């Protein structure tokens, strides 16, 4: 469904942030993108939704090259892509409902979409989504009155407003406490499963990534250095991605996730169901370099 070939991104400063990325994502597949700060995770996500323009290579979404689209073609293609940000990107003074209906920030200017008339079916869809993400009855609360977890739920509902088929998620839990982070990850995975959504989740918490996301792509200095099942991410793979370190404590956490969380098994089930293609035979490894 998403096929990235030889993608490069060089910024005006001369930094080569992506050095030839090849990546295939199947419909409904959920991928965790990990790697050290500066590895190029955000650049990759921004190239896919064209918040930045790729320097070379192809980004095919169902065969359409996003890298070459402009104007109306790009606007239409972007409707198929939902974005969830670390800092939620909500308009603070507006209500939850207004945030959902005001279009997707980062894509269109807020005022441009605000002046459009809101359709009753959009309002109904927003109410249904709010109910689904656990914010039923909160549509008239102001965004700045919400907790971090609630704000991210608004961000998730907003990303789903245009029924995208690909979700791009940039550090969704970076501003959240551990329990809320887990709830948000679980919600994202459930929604992907329910809607057959593919997703790329850029996340720096390795333990959280490997627990919830069945396929892990490791980025280092603009290159993919690992692409395979989460179950095979151990000290050797972590060293390849992040460099030398004593990984024993992290490895232990990855093997025995928090005992106080009875949802661990459910989460694994969720991950499995969210990406049936990735388990149990892990064809994601074979998928690299082969046509999607
Ligand atoms: N707008 C920009 N202009 C110039 N260089 C940038 C810009 N954004 C990112 N970079 C550089 O690209 C590299 C990758 O950054 P980024 O994609 O943000 O990595 P990550 O999200 O993995 O931390 C870094 O060297 C960073 O300094
Ligand atoms: Mg980043």
**Integer CA distances (angstroms), 195 to 27, 188, 260, in order:** 11, 11, 29
Q: Is 228 domain-assigned?
A: yes
Per-residue pLDDT of the chain (292 residues; tens, 9 = 90+): 999 999 999 999 999 999 999 999 999 999 999 999 999 999 999 999 998 999 999 999 998 998 888 888 888 888 899 998 877 678 888 899 989 987 554 454 555 555 556 678 888 999 999 999 999 999 999 999 999 999 999 999 999 998 999 999 998 888 889 999 999 999 999 999 999 999 999 998 999 999 999 999 999 999 999 999 999 999 999 999 999 888 888 888 887 654 444 444 444 444 444 444 433 333 333 333 333 3
Residue 116 has a pLDDT of 57
- Listed in sequence order, the DSSP H helices in 10-119 are 41-48, 71-78, 96-101, 110-114
- For residues 210 and 226, give the distance between their C-alpha atoms in angstroms, rounded to a whole number: 13
Omega within 30 of 0 (cis) for the link into 251: no
Report how far ligand 1's centroid is from the alpha carbon of 260 (Å).
37
Q: Is the CB of 15 under 6 A from ligand 1?
A: yes
Residue nearest to atom 2 of ligand 1 (CA): 11
- For residues 274 and 272, give the distance between their C-alpha atoms in angstroms, rounded to a whole number: 5
Return the CATH number at 282. Answer: 3.40.50.300
Residue 274 has a pLDDT of 45
Q: Is 3 domain-assigned?
A: no
Residue 121 has a pLDDT of 82
- For residues 147 and 117, give the distance between their C-alpha atoms in angstroms, rounded to a whole number: 29
Take residue 137 and report the two structure tokens written for it.
């009855």
Q: Is 33 domain-assigned?
A: yes
- For residues 220 and 243, give the distance between their C-alpha atoms in angstroms, rounded to a whole number: 9
The number of the ligand 1 atom at minimal distance from the alpha carbon of 35 is 22
Counting the structural domains of the chain, the total is 1
Report how far ligand 1's centroid is from the alpha carbon of 87 (Å).
17
Residue 120 has a pLDDT of 80
Q: Is 128 domain-assigned?
A: yes
Residue nearest to atom 9 of ligand 1 (CA): 43
All residues at 6 or more sequence positions from 111 whose CB lies less than 8 Å from its CB, including other chains: none
Take residue 73 and report the two structure tokens written for it.
């073609």
Q: Is 256 domain-assigned?
A: yes
Residue 241 has a pLDDT of 96
Residue 72 has a pLDDT of 85
Q: Is the CB of 37 under 6 A from ligand 1?
A: yes
Q: Is 181 domain-assigned?
A: yes
pTM of the model: 0.83
Q: Is 117 domain-assigned?
A: yes
Range of the domain at 181: 27-54+62-287
Q: Is 19 domain-assigned?
A: no
């Amino acid at each position: 469904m998403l096929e990235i070939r030889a993608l490069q991104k060089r910024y005006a400063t001369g930094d080569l942030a992506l050095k030839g990325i090849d990546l295939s994502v199947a419909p409904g597949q959920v991928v965790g993108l990990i790697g050290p700060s500066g590895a190029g995770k955000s650049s990759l996500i921004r190239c896919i939704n064209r918040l930045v323009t790729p320097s070379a290579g192809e980004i095919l979404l169902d065969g359409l090259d996003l890298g070459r689209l402009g104007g109306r073609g790009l606007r239409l293609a972007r409707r198929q892509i939902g974005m969830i940000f670390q800092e939620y990107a909500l308009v603070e003074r507006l209500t939850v409902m207004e945030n959902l209906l005001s279009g997707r920030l980062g894509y269109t200017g807020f005022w441009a979409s605000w002046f459009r008339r809101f359709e009753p079916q959009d309002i109904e869809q927003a109410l249904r989504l709010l109910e689904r993400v656990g914010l039923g009855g909160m549509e008239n609360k102001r965004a700045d009155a919400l907790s971090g977890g609630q704000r991210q739920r608004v961000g998730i509902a907003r990303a789903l407003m245009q029924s995208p088929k690909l979700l791009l998620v940039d550090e969704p839990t970076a501003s959240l406490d551990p329990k809320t982070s887990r709830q948000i990850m679980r919600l994202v995975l459930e929604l992907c499963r329910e809607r057959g959504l593919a997703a790329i989740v850029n996340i720096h918490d390795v333990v959280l990534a490997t627990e919830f996301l069945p396929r892990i792509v490791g980025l280092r200095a603009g290159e993919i250095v690992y692409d395979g099942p989460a179950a095979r991410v151990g000290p050797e793979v972590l060293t390849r991605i992040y460099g030398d370190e004593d990984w024993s404590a992290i490895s232990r956490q990855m093997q025995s996730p928090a005992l106080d969380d009875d949802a661990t098994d459910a989460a694994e089930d969720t991950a499995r169901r969210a990406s049936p293609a990735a388990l149990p035979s892990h064809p994601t490894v074979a998928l690299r370099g082969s046509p999607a």
